[in-house]
Structure 1
């Protein structure tokens, strides 16, 4: 039974139902009420906290907003700004809103009772903004100078409504103020189960809106990737200000969704989409005999001569087709000798033609998901100019290639990402990417250059996930939080939590996705445990090819085990 149904069942025998307001009927897009003060700066925050403390000490009881702002430390501040911020930050608690609407249709009398310094007109405005139907009445402690926890505000409610306490059910989130306070007035009360206090504004914002989303891809994209996308794009925007003449090039396919989010947040800014891959650049290096660059462009896999030649856009001599090259630990002498035998790729000239058509200049910004900066390195080699990298993450190769002044990194203070991040990086890459095959080559046409991509069927789940990310970005932009930066650690935490400790549903939902890395590999798609009992060698092979091994283990045995910790121990 969901929370809406539970509320309606609890209220079935009551003639009137009264609700607490804050954290029951409505929530704020901040972790705590006082965090709303911080949105106006630390000076105001400190003064506002002190003013309320002083006002309560002087009066010895409940206070009004006017009495708080009458304190000397708030001289010059306008209470109307606080009221506006409260109005902007409030959202309905969706299960309770749905229950109130159902109870109204059933003909129940509906009331609210709140311990709050805000004036009642402000509370009414917030409830209207959140979509609540008109209540039959409401009591706010600031109007009467008494609170719920003493039972006096509840007695005042009974006096004004002339209701018998036994006719009423009160619902609130506080055991002390709501349940115990109502009991002091003889009113039956029910404690509303609520999620734990959110850790920060990002968590509060996400939790407040998740009940309105259907479980599945959209909710997962909203809560897991939405904060990361918005935080990264805001960081990009701030960093771009230091390079006013530079153009912003988002690299396909990994940065497709990031570009969509950036365009939503900053619609007035022009950006470019550079459809390159290491594979699409390889023919140009092969044609020039730059074999070290060809090696850098190749996937770190075991490839046959035929596969390697196809990757470079050419054909392989029959005598070399079955040769095998381990590109994880390459024999460079043998590899370079093989590359020298390959015919010049017909697509080599089109690579430079496409790049020249995009008009990259020195200092232009490349936005990439990032690891060692290989794509930036290859592009700079082809173009003969220095570019500026802005990456989501990095590994330990990056700083051996580029200084922090040349390539900036958003996550983990610019240091190499931790092992648990790389355990999920293929998953992240797939979820952020444009839902098309890898960029293979370019063809010159009268209109310019056509980008040729590998065949790849559309994935409905990916479209649903990415809609959730865009919904988060749109909501954040429209919220009172829009001017606030999201710290990198806060932004990546939901994704790392998913990678390390997925639920069985999450592992099942995402595990059948595939990733391209010199081949097509499943993220986490084990066969049945029964199959592996009779084919034990297959278990090791399938785990080896899975690109999200923690998800693989979770799907194989959906038990409450610390698969993330098990994986990290195995990696050590």
Structure 2
């Protein structure tokens, strides 16, 4: 290209990308806009009318190209309607158009290099509208703009190129044309002896969504938008790009779903629960800034005291814990009591226990002593969690909903008992314990009463929780400070690993900002499958590089362990029992499997086979 002084660029799918699956999607958007603006009129089927009008205009035209006005002349409507729809179509075109970022870099090099740039396109839109689109997308430095709708000649016939050469008074050997259409940009140039450079209009920039999946995406799918936008961020880290493509759409889809549920159920106040909803509430507030939402800094540990006191039964602590076999010391630690004080209190009642003894209700004498001592200590020390909940606006007098990652709904059960009122629970994934069956819950990703049906999803939930963490520890309790109740936090388990999580989150939030500011579908919910597709690919079918990058991230569930840290295959060949033990311990099992057996393309399927065999 260096030897050519004159460089011609095509516009659409070359200099410009549209954030829609096909150009005709613009007509559907115009139809929606028009009908929203005119709710009292019969619904206009603009999409079909617009396509048919263009077909008629082309048939009747004496020119090779038709004009924007000629198309609209074929539509039977009033002059006011015609003008309104034309304005809406151009407005929508301006909205959906973004730069094709890699080609914009070539364009900029041509400008800096002193090339004479012309823009040549087959297009029905008026010249002034195309000029505005180009300017909005950062293309202000060009010598001339040649449109088929203005000249009356088209690229595909070769006549527009012939006109360009004549008008510029240059020889065909001085011009190179860049475009994405083999017929209109390449073969037409060849016929006129003009050098051309072909650009594929189906460049795949996504990591998790392949060409077939992109081609089959629904019309409101975010992945057309993502594929167009990712080229802008090609120099960013892999974690940023994964967050943009995988976590961003999941958060957006989830928030759209929450919004619809809030309005369906007439929810008056929505509470997003710490820590997992720290990022989600930010997304929700950007989408719906006028809604009444709160970020509620609670945890199972911070509410256990109030829950036990309300239940008046120490055994209720097991409603809030992952398993039911704990030592007395572990239970005391879980509710923030000094084990020595509990042991001494029981001894005063004539019951001798040790911190290492199993906490059980099988021995009624020991259990009754523990129950009495612990409840008395909790009453004496007091608890501020109920006061904190009330200070945040939780009340039995309003209809409330909570939002969390989910699984069993443990925190919802605790809140309902403490507040003595019903709360609606909205979760990424929902599977209720039998003892929680009366709670009002719903799930976005999955929603079932039979946990066995979704055990395969558990690995995905673990890694999701990690990717949603803020750089702050879990809420451990509350204190008064300057007449306010504020949360106390445990030490954050993330350490240096948070740098990876933060980069992933930054990518996700960049997607949210881009989608809100640039997508024509920003207010339209997309299909759940579109929201979770890329994240499921990362969680279930990671590459070896992805598995190694993310497996060392810590996960806290009573104790802190890596998501899926493995030893090398040679170690496991000598110690097969260690392989089974490490597999069981891994929170992110597909990530573990991929590291041990990198040749397995779908580690999630192997994980399913193991689970099904166990069942």
TM bucket normalised to smaller: 0.7 to 0.9
Q: 1:140 to 1:422 in 2, by over 3 A?
A: farther
Q: Is residue 350 from structure 1 mapped to residue 390 from structure 2 by the alignment? A: no
Aligned to 1:552: 592
CA distance in 1, matches of 2:602, 2:176: 43
CA distance in 1, matches of 2:368, 2:331: 9
Per-residue CA deviation, residues 160-187 of structure 1 (Å, 9 max, x unaligned), is 2233333333222222332222222222
SS in 2 for 1:486: coil
Q: 1:340 to 1:113 in 2, by over 3 A?
A: farther
Aligned to 2:227: 207
Q: CA deviation at 1:83?
A: 0.8
Aligned to 2:295: 273
Q: Is residue 102 from structure 1 mapped to residue 109 from structure 2 by the alignment? A: yes
Q: CA deviation at 1:307?
A: 2.3
- 5 Å matches for 1:363-382? 363-382=399-418
Aligned to 1:311: 334
CA distance in 2, matches of 1:370, 1:336: 37
Return the TM-score normalized by structure 1.
0.88
Q: Is residue 341 from structure 1 mapped to residue 344 from structure 2 by the alignment? A: no
What is the aligned-residue RMSD (CA, Å)? 3.0
Please say if residues 431 and 448 of structure 2, whose CA atoms lie closer than 8 Å, have aligned partners that are also in contact: no
Q: 1:270 to 1:140 in 2, by over 3 A?
A: same
Q: CA deviation at 1:334?
A: 7.0
Q: 1:237 to 1:159 in 2, by over 3 A?
A: same
Paired residues in the alignment total 555
Q: CA deviation at 1:535?
A: 4.2
CA distance in 2, matches of 1:413, 1:90: 38
SS in 2 for 1:394: strand
Aligned to 2:89: 82
Q: CA deviation at 1:27?
A: 0.7
Alignment match of 2:69 (pick from 42, 66, 71): 66
Q: CA deviation at 1:74?
A: 5.8
- 5 Å matches for 1:322-471? 322-323=356-357, 333=362, 341=370, 343-344=373-374, 346=378, 349-362=383-396, 363-395=399-431, 397=433, 401-402=437-438, 406-412=440-446, 418=454, 421-456=457-492, 457=495, 459-471=498-510
Q: 1:69 to 1:302 in 2, by over 3 A?
A: farther
SS in 2 for 1:139: strand
CA distance in 2, matches of 1:62, 1:414: 57
Runs of 4+ aligned structure 1 residues displaced above 6 Å come to: 334-337, 413-417
Q: 1:359 to 1:107 in 2, by over 3 A?
A: closer
Moved more, 260-269 or 411-420: 411-420
Please say if residues 435 and 462 of structure 1, whose CA atoms lie closer than 8 Å, have aligned partners that are also in contact: no
- Please say which structure displays the higher CA radius of gyration: 2
CA distance in 2, matches of 1:335, 1:166: 98
Q: Is residue 159 from structure 1 mapped to residue 162 from structure 2 by the alignment? A: no
Return the TM-score normalized by structure 2.
0.82
Per-residue CA deviation, residues 464-523 of structure 1 (Å, 9 max, x unaligned), is 222222222222222333232223222122211211222334333322211211221212
Aligned to 2:533: 493
CA distance in 2, matches of 1:487, 1:96: 31
Per-residue CA deviation, residues 203-223 of structure 1 (Å, 9 max, x unaligned), is 122222212221333222222
Alignment match of 1:247 (pick from 255, 269, 280): 269
SS in 2 for 1:22: coil
Per-residue CA deviation, residues 20-53 of structure 1 (Å, 9 max, x unaligned), is 2111111111111111222233622222222222
CA distance in 1, matches of 2:262, 2:510: 24
Aligned to 2:207: none
Q: Is residue 32 from structure 1 mapped to residue 13 from structure 2 by the alignment? A: no
Alignment match of 1:46 (pick from 44, 48, 53): 48
Q: 1:335 to 1:562 in 2, by over 3 A?
A: farther
CA distance in 2, matches of 1:520, 1:147: 66
CA distance in 2, matches of 1:359, 1:233: 21
Per-residue CA deviation, residues 316-346 of structure 1 (Å, 9 max, x unaligned), is 4494433468xxxxx8747996596264254
SS in 2 for 1:450: strand
Q: CA deviation at 1:135?
A: 1.5
CA distance in 1, matches of 2:265, 2:304: 30
Please say if residues 431 and 447 of structure 2, whose CA atoms lie closer than 8 Å, have aligned partners that are also in contact: no
Aligned to 1:262: 284
Q: 1:53 to 1:293 in 2, by over 3 A?
A: farther
Q: Is residue 295 from structure 1 mapped to residue 318 from structure 2 by the alignment? A: yes
Please say if residues 265 and 474 of structure 1, whose CA atoms lie closer than 8 Å, have aligned partners that are also in contact: no
Please say if residues 402 and 425 of structure 2, whose CA atoms lie closer than 8 Å, have aligned partners that are also in contact: yes
Please say if residues 279 and 298 of structure 1, whose CA atoms lie closer than 8 Å, have aligned partners that are also in contact: no
Per-residue CA deviation, residues 241-273 of structure 1 (Å, 9 max, x unaligned), is 356672221111111111111222223334212
CA distance in 2, matches of 1:70, 1:24: 30
Please say if residues 252 and 434 of structure 1, whose CA atoms lie closer than 8 Å, have aligned partners that are also in contact: no
Unaligned runs of 5+ in 1: 1-10, 326-330
Q: CA deviation at 1:439?
A: 1.9
Q: Is residue 517 from structure 1 mapped to residue 561 from structure 2 by the alignment? A: no
Q: 1:444 to 1:57 in 2, by over 3 A?
A: same
Moved more, 284-293 or 253-262: 284-293
Please say if residues 24 and 172 of structure 1, whose CA atoms lie closer than 8 Å, have aligned partners that are also in contact: yes
